[in-house]
Amino acid sequence: MLWQSPQWLWQSPQWLWLLAALAIPLLIHLLRRSATREIPFAAAHWLQEKRPYRKRRLLREKWLLLLRMLLLALLALLLAQPLLQRDAAASADTLLVDPRIARAELEIFLQDHPGFRQRLWLQPQPTPISAARPPATDLWKTLSGLAAAGAFRRAHILLRNAENPSGHGALSVSPHWQWHALENTGADDATPLPKLALLGPGPPWLEAMLQQLRDATLPQLALQTLDTIDAANAKAQDWLIYDTPGTLPGALQQFVRDGGLLITDQRVRPQGTLRFVELAGDEPLQAAALGRGSWLRYGRDWHSDGFFHRADLPQTLWRQWFAQDWALQARSRGHWSIDASPGIPVADAAVHRSHLAPLQHGLLLAFVLLLALERIVALARPARGGGGRD
Amino acid sequence: MQLTDPLTLASTRDLAWLSRHIAEGMLLGMQHSQRRGAGVEFQQYRSYEPGDSIRHIDWKLFARSDRYYVREAEQESRMHVCIALDTSASMAQPSFTHPQLSKLHYAKCWIATLCWLLHRQGERFSLLALNDGEMRHIPSGQGEGHHRRIALALAQLRAAGHWPGEAQLASAWKLFEQPCQVVLVSDFFERGQEISTFAARLQAAGRPCLPLQLLVEAEETFPFSSELKIRDPESPAITELDAGAQRADYLRAFGAAQKQLAARFAARECPLTSVAIERPLEQSLRRFVDAHSRIG
């Protein structure tokens, strides 16, 4: 069953201190009970006790106390945001689809392989394929992340190519995965898209240009935005657009040396001297080789109208950037094939078979219901007597 | 006339002075009709005792005999006012608005003041304080010194125990052999009808009994609304109750009991004067005196 071993996790456990507030209604109750005033009253002869009424009242107060403590406890729980671990069943009728696969190709595949109940995009957090197509992700990383997820332990994985560029670090896989690929030939005709990144505020035309490229030919193109210079890493990004005038920082120089492509305009100057080679074309453009990578530098300020007021800007720029040996670089990188997966199998024991279900809605509902109940009990005081305390 | 407030009553130690002050205030403007000798008919001489007014000394006799003699009238020697004070534990009931003032304390002030008024009229008066533990009696006398004696005795009284039983009362009956009027000061909260019976027996013996009932305001209005533990000073039990729910029942029962008590005394032609101790002492004394114009 789903509830096999419920184990509580808290998103903000500091709120559990609020449980100490349970003492407040308890204290009030105790203090009130003992605070019954004692008076000497010589005319007590004309008073008579009415026990049953008092007992009923005490019972009601106990109920109120219980309800109020429950309310407080629920409030603390709500704020602490509990997560209930539930076991996830590893089903074999799950299909994880590489987002690069076109819709038509997928339909054909599904006709050949019916019987997949759950069809998801292959992503760090898989979404159903009825949802919008997500941008292409790093297969290497994504697969490593999913290898330990219990729900996808026995999934079928459909890739576009049997051979894919390998990443840095180790690949983890589930030994129960079943691999499919649309093309067994490898990645020769389809060069993988470079991982494009932007450091700092980019030129204003960049977003529009990428959008045009996505609409036209490269739907998977994604732009990563880096916040700090230190985030630039040739392992994580292929191309880096840098738009801050001044001397090139050392970290970026290291990025180029490690094999990245740096794209700037004339306002960025190198540390020391670099031998730039003028490239042919109608646009003044120069390139310099630095370590394993290169630096592409535009001869004009790319903020000027003359630079970007052109209809063919996206295609021109893409061609210029792509021409910097990207195809060769991509091909020369390591590849892995689904036939001989280099991954390290994740043992069954290491799989966390559970996913966490938030309980907020149920708790909130219970809180509102209890609050209503408490109000009803508190306000439905007996009509007689009149002088009750609250 | 400036009335005495409960705080003054509660905080003044000197009962003699206080009562004299209140009584003189009440007498202000009244004719000082000298009822010299208190009684027109001469009966006998008696030797002077401290406390007797100098005015009553027969100076001619002093000149003859070199001794002080006081003239006494026949009427006085026989008739006096005996003030009977119930000192059972219920009389310790304090006021709820002025917790310093209890029924007993009010009664002491009231009695002392009455005694001064009696003294100013030349009447004789005695004091009998009763509970089942002890019985304090000050024999009848007159004059300022006697008033002082009474005030002193009053100041020493403590409230404890119950109204005395039949056997204990037997010794008290001897005190009423002389003709007297009895002023009975109590709260008249009886377990049976013991206090009423006492008054009825006095009445039957030809000793007019003038009752004064002392209450606190809370007993008449029951202004409580919360959970209460109620301790009856004359019984060990503690009653726990919801005062708000009990209020109507209590007021009905108490009102009925009061009406019954008043009716019982009215039937014997000595109306009951009920006084809340939060009211000024002058008012209650005036009401009492007006109700029994024979004294006033």
Would you call B193 an interface residue with chain A, using a CB distance cutoff of 8 Å?
no
Sorting pLDDT into bands at 50, 70 and 90, what band is A307?
confident
**pLDDT, averaged across chain A:** 79
Pairwise CA distance, residues A364 & A384, whole Å: 35
Partners of A389 on chain B (C-beta within 8 Å) are 226-227
List CB contacts of A198: < 8 A, sequence separation 6 or more.
A206, A223, A224, A225, A226, A240, A241, A243
Residue A248 and residue A177 share a domain: no
Enter the CATH code of domain B6-26+76-291. Answer: 3.40.50.410
User: Does residue A382 surpass a pLDDT of 70?
Assistant: no
Q: Does residue A316 belong to any structural domain of this protein?
A: no
The 3-state DSSP class for residue A347 equals coil
What is the Cα Rg of chain A in Å? Answer: 33
User: Does residue A244 surpass a pLDDT of 90?
Assistant: no
Residue A115 and residue A166 share a domain: yes
Q: Which domain holds residue A360?
A: 8-35+53-87+355-379
Phi, psi values for residue B22, rounded to 5°: -65, -45
CA distances from A122 to A71, A97, A102 (A): 43, 5, 13
Residue A125 and residue A221 share a domain: no
Pairing of strands A8-10, B42-47: unpaired
Task: Confirm if A198 and A241 have CB atoms less than 8 A apart.
Answer: yes
Pairwise CA distance, residues B296 & A120, whole Å: 111
The mean per-residue pLDDT over the stretch B75-80 comes to 60
Residue A261 and residue A228 share a domain: yes
Q: Which element (helix H / strand E) includes A263?
A: strand A261-264
Per the structure, the count of domains in chain A is 3
Would you call A104 an interface residue with chain B, using a CB distance cutoff of 8 Å?
no
The 3-state DSSP class for residue A323 equals coil
The 3-state DSSP class for residue B13 equals coil
Kindly provide the residue ranges of all beta strands, DSSP E only, lying in chain B, ordered along the sequence.
42-47, 69-73, 80-86, 125-130, 135-141, 180-186, 209-215, 227-231, 238-242, 273-276
Q: Does residue A140 belong to any structural domain of this protein?
A: yes
Residue A228 and residue A271 share a domain: yes
Sorting pLDDT into bands at 50, 70 and 90, what band is A367?
very high
User: Does residue B41 surpass a pLDDT of 90?
Assistant: no
Task: Confirm if B295 and B289 have CB atoms less than 8 A apart.
Answer: yes
Residue A299 and residue A215 share a domain: yes
Residue A176 and residue A111 share a domain: yes
Query: What end-to-end distance do the CA atoms of chain B give, in Å?
Result: 18
Task: Confirm if A107 and A137 have CB atoms less than 8 A apart.
Answer: no
Sorting pLDDT into bands at 50, 70 and 90, what band is A4?
very low
- Residue B127 burial (C-beta neighbours within 10 Å; 0-12, 13-18, 19+): buried
Would you call B220 an interface residue with chain A, using a CB distance cutoff of 8 Å?
no
Pairwise CA distance, residues A151 & B1, whole Å: 98
* pLDDT at residue B71 in the model: 79
User: Does residue A305 surpass a pLDDT of 50?
Assistant: yes
Top pLDDT among A126 and B40 is at A126
Q: Between chains, do A50 and B96 touch, taking CB under 8 Å as contact?
A: no
Three-point CA angle A205, A210, A215, nearest 5°: 130
Task: Confirm if A42 and B189 have CB atoms less than 8 A apart.
Answer: yes
List CB contacts of A110: < 8 A, sequence separation 6 or more.
A116, A119
Q: Does residue A274 belong to any structural domain of this protein?
A: yes
Residue with tokens 């290169």: A294
Q: Does residue A143 belong to any structural domain of this protein?
A: yes
Residue A233 and residue A163 share a domain: no
Nearest to A61 by CA among A377, A373, A372, A367: A377
Among A29-33, A302-306, B211-215, the range with the most confident prediction by mean pLDDT is: B211-215
Among B191, B242, B252, most A C-beta atoms within 10 A, so best to mutate, is: B242
Q: What string of DSSP letters covers B214-262?
A: EE-HHHHH----SEEEEE-TTSS-EEEEEHHHHHHHHHHHHHHHHHHHH
Sorting pLDDT into bands at 50, 70 and 90, what band is B90?
very high
Residue with tokens 């529009």: A208
* pLDDT at residue A5 in the model: 44
Among A301-310, A312-321, B14-23, B50-59, the range with the most confident prediction by mean pLDDT is: B14-23
Residue A225 and residue A162 share a domain: no
Closest partner residue to A387 (CB to CB) among B189, B233, B243 is: B243
Q: Between chains, do A45 and B232 touch, taking CB under 8 Å as contact?
A: yes
Closest partner residue to A387 (CB to CB) among B225, B232, B239 is: B225
Q: Between chains, do A37 and B227 touch, taking CB under 8 Å as contact?
A: yes
Q: Does residue A330 belong to any structural domain of this protein?
A: no
Closest partner residue to A41 (CB to CB) among B91, B191, B232 is: B232
Among A29, A38, A41, A56, most B C-beta atoms within 10 A, so best to mutate, is: A41
Q: Does residue A323 belong to any structural domain of this protein?
A: no
Proportion of chain A above pLDDT 70, given as a percent: 87
Structure tokens at B245: 């729910």
Q: What is the dihedral of CA A383, B240, B260, B272, to 10 degrees?
A: -120
User: Does residue A80 surpass a pLDDT of 50?
Assistant: yes
Pairwise CA distance, residues B28 & B25, whole Å: 5
Q: Does residue A318 belong to any structural domain of this protein?
A: no
C-alpha B1, offset from chain centre: 23
How many inter-chain contacts (A to B, CB under 8 Å) are there? 97
Other residues' Cβ atoms within 10 Å of the Cβ of residue A350: 10
pTM exceeding 0.90: no
CA distances from A305 to A203, A296, A313, B245 (A): 12, 20, 12, 90
Span(s) in chain B for CATH 3.40.50.410: 6-26+76-291
Residue A203 and residue A186 share a domain: no
Q: Between chains, do A53 and B242 touch, taking CB under 8 Å as contact?
A: yes
CA distances from B32 to A207, B122, B145 (A): 117, 12, 20
Under DSSP, the state recorded for B141 is E
Which amino acid makes up residue B192? G
Task: Confirm if B200 and B268 have CB atoms less than 8 A apart.
Answer: yes
Among B86, B87, B88, B90, most A C-beta atoms within 10 A, so best to mutate, is: B90
Top pLDDT among A145 and B257 is at B257
User: Does residue A383 surpass a pLDDT of 50?
Assistant: no
Residue A23 and residue A59 share a domain: yes
Residue A124 and residue A68 share a domain: no
B237 to chain A, minimum CA–CA distance in Å? 10
Q: Does residue A104 belong to any structural domain of this protein?
A: yes
Sorting pLDDT into bands at 50, 70 and 90, what band is B36?
very low
